[in-house]
Chain A
Amino acid sequence: MAIEDDVLVVGGGLAGATAALAAKDADPDARVRLVTYKQSTLRHASGLIDVLGYGPDGDGPLVDPFDALVNLPESHPYRRVGVDAVREALSFFDGVAGDAYAGNHTDRNALVPTAGGTVKPTARYPAATAAGLASDERDALFVGFETLPAFDAPRSASHLEAAGVPFSTRGETVSFPGIDRDDAKLVRYAHLLDEDERVRTSGRRMGARTALATAVDARLGEESRIGFPAVLGDERPAEVRSYLADALGVDVFEVPTGPPSLAGMRLEDVLFDALSDDGVRVTAGVPVIDYELVAGGASESDGDRIDHVVVDRHGSEIPHRADQYVLATGGLVGKGVKSDRDGVFEPIFDCHVPQADDRYDWFVDDVFGEQPYARFGLEPDRDLRPLDPNGEPEFSNLRAAGAVLGGYDFAAEKSGAGVSIATGYVAGTRAAEEVSR
């Protein structure tokens, strides 16, 4: 027999986790399962929760993202779910994230310094970055590590100053106590601090936290806050930060870095801890590869009805049946949308992906121009059910959320996290409501 649930979410990134949590929230009695294959793009993510940083014509950074939502085209996922739903979804996220995130005191975008020395407009940000905001006028010291080229502190600091931040910046590079090899993994840095492992530094042995504070103290000037690349602990980041802050007598913050990103991994932990606390069943490491329809279940207006999906466990095909399904498998990077020489497609349900017939029209020559491929994805109705080429729902019991949806360019708009949370929240809530009905 099949593994049976009420709501089955396919995909374990921000959209999928939000959908599963929202379904459970809408109906605590519903049996909700999340199936996720390989690890999601959260592993590459900055951990920032942006809603909208730039408008459709590239105008921005926007002060108030919510004001700008109504100016987006009808086909944009935000317009599909509506501005109220975006707000509800954000406050739902606030409830899930708790103290781990900040920024919900205002509708206005915060400006967070990035590893490249730019500022990114974002609606919510991890508590770890709170002391680093560019609107804060206190001078900042940025500290990088010799063996971590992903964050070049002096360059980052001077870029920020050139960007016009209202404070002075300075960058210093130190060697990270306890790291000897050039290619030590990010998690090694974090682990040393989490566990406060004993390390040897200038001939003496001491805890890694003390050793780091000592190395940085020697470079500290008049600044009252210090920014580090996001490596300050994986299991116990708040404890590590507050230790360093006390030892140095300044505020300590993290600058989000590129992949692999601990800030994104910590967000993943927040979400998966919530899934476990709320009783969502999680099946990880195996793909959904196919589906079967309910025999004779098609209705003219609603499309076909999915009976079950097939999960491949190393060659054994395990049926998973639910009443309602949410597809949250990601976009081109997450592989929820794929392409080959013949076209762009969604690999599990083969939902319709609008695209130009000639693949030379999938892109434009200007690299930073409006790239059609950046908007590839499914086109949903207002209930987030993917539509077929005739504008009818592909399936009556399938909704889609996150980057598998098309019609928006998250990289240009800075809207990736917001769209995932808003559409995940709506898809999960509606799926659970449909079950209860």
Chain B
Amino acid sequence: MSDAERSIDDAPDGSTDEFEPIQVFPEAEEMDLRPGADNCYKCSTCDTNCPVAAVDDEFPGPKFQGPEQWRLKRQDDRDVDESVMKCSNCMRCDSACPSSVPLSQMHNTARGEYVDERMSKRSREYLRNRMLANYRRLAPLASTFPRTANAVMGLSITRWIGEKLLGVTSEREFPEFATETFREWWETRGGNAASKKRAREARAKRGGDADDAEKRIAYFHGCYANYNTPEVAKALVRVYEHFGYEVLVPDQRCSGTPMFANGMLDDARRAAETNVAELAAAIEDGADVVASCSSCSMSIRQEYPELFDFADTETVAETTWDAVEYLRVHEDLEAELAGTSVDDEFDSFAYHAPCHSRNQGLNGQTIEVMSAIDGVDVHDVGDSCSGISGTYGWKAENYETSMKIGEEMFEHMADADAEAGLTECPTCSMQMEHGTGYEITHTLEVLEAALVETGTDE
């Protein structure tokens, strides 16, 4: 028998010892995504899911950005290609890949490396991106003088300067800052102590155990619900208290989503470290974590464990939920909604499922839950991406691409029998409003209208 005919894993002496794999590559000292790259069999399913590659001639698609770039980078003289900055971080390629290649992890890592090593820290692009990624740093200032900030941001001169000086598109209107942030409202309302009392009363009213200490959630509101749409955060609090949950509002920083998307991994690491520590402490106190923003929950559930390894990162990821999903699994939400109704203001919606909800398997959830409420008609506008992808569509150079991606959603919204929009992502909501002029509501606000009696709170 020639050598070629003998199977290579039979021991030469005929013994049947257990197969022992050989370590071909040395133990990695830094993040090495090569094994993930090797799982790619180049079927290009990711490329057919990429909203950017379908409209932007300069973007080579996720298969290149991910596995192909990681293979190329094995050669010492290869830098990360600048086209990685064209990826909008919608993460659709992740749930597309039949081989579970960690595409968005590769993109995030490559983007971080590109910004670190190749983007000038004095360039306009870097400054602009750093500012957009750290919107939360500017927000407290604007929130201190919300009316002035809104007036200044709304001036055409401000938008003109924004575009000329910083490369932030002048086509979009900046989101308004609320006159009272969610956290200010929360403190005034009495904070956790007040919530504890309300939850206790609700449990007693529902015929449950008033002393049930299990019913406790820690709310990750993120930046937008705090500074811009506190009505969403308040709705969450009231809906959870209605079910008898005591709400904790831990200290928190940005979830990191806009930082990943801009390759600012050091900023993201600092924010994540605080969030993981604060949320882990709440979990230690018996709370589960819920988020109202689909990108915040996505970031904590998937990107944290993929990119960071602080103590408790995994625990926090596994204990974090989308706010509606949590109620569905822990309460009989549909039975609770049966027989409820809402006013005319919420009678029909064009619903867009954000990419970051889809990635969490929540694409059908809102339609299912809303169908239990009388008088609400919700039309799914399909599986296209809204195109804004956080800070992506705010950049002057991406504005046109962003609107081209959004075109399909705009058309489907116009076709739907509704004059208002519904979604769970703040920036999708901006894009929906920008493209159609519709007012956009968050799903939790509809739940609040259906479940919570008005006048129970100021």
Contacts and interface: CB of A to CB of B under 8 A. Distances in A.
Contacts of B54: 185, 187-188, 190-191
A313 B44 CA distance: 25
A316 B57 contact: no
A184 B58 CA distance: 9
Among B7, B47, B60, B361: residue with most chain A CB under 10 A: B361
Interface in B296-333: 301-302, 305, 314, 317-318, 320-321, 325, 328-332
Contacts of A282: 363-364
A2 B55 CA distance: 41
Given A186-B47, A188-B57, A316-B318, A1 B19 contact: no
7 contacts: A1-B329, A183-B60, A187-B48, A260-B45, A282-B364, A283-B363, A315-B317
Contacts of B48: 43, 185-187, 260, 262, 265
Nearest to B47: A185
A394 B57 CA distance: 52
B61 A180 contact: no
Interface stretch (B23-31, B91-99, B277-285): B91-99
B61 A286 contact: no
Contacts of A316: 301, 318, 320-321, 325, 329
Report, nearest first, the 3 A-B pairs whose CB atoms are least far apart. A286-B361, A315-B318, A285-B95
Nearest to B97: A38
A51 interface: no
A47 B407 CA distance: 27
A334 interface: yes
Given A185-B53, A187-B50, 20 more contacts: A1-B332, A39-B49, A43-B98, A44-B45, A181-B60, A183-B60, A185-B47, A187-B53, A188-B54, A195-B407, A259-B43, A260-B47, A262-B48, A281-B368, A284-B361, A313-B361, A314-B317, A314-B360, A316-B318, A360-B7
B44 A286 contact: no
B100 interface: yes
Nearest to B317: A315
B244 to A, nearest CB: 15
Nearest to A261: B48
B380 interface: yes
Interface string B346-359: 00000000000011
A341 interface: yes
A187 B47 contact: yes
Contacts, number: 121
A265 B359 CA distance: 19
B408 interface: yes
Interface residues of B, number: 49
A195 B406 CA distance: 13
B301 A314 contact: yes
B358 A285 contact: yes
Nearest to B359: A285
B177 interface: no
Contact of A39 (B19, B45, B60, B329): B45
B64 interface: yes
Contacts of B305: 315
Given A1-B332, A188-B57, A43 B43 contact: yes
B84 to A, nearest CB: 15
Among A186, A281, A315, A360: residue with most chain B CB under 10 A: A315
A292 B373 CA distance: 31
Contacts of B330: 1
B50 A185 contact: yes
Among B7, B99, B359: residue with most chain A CB under 10 A: B359
A276 B44 contact: no
B363 A284 contact: yes
Contacts of A341: 19
Nearest to A37: B95
Nearest to A41: B98
Nearest to A314: B301
Nearest to B60: A183
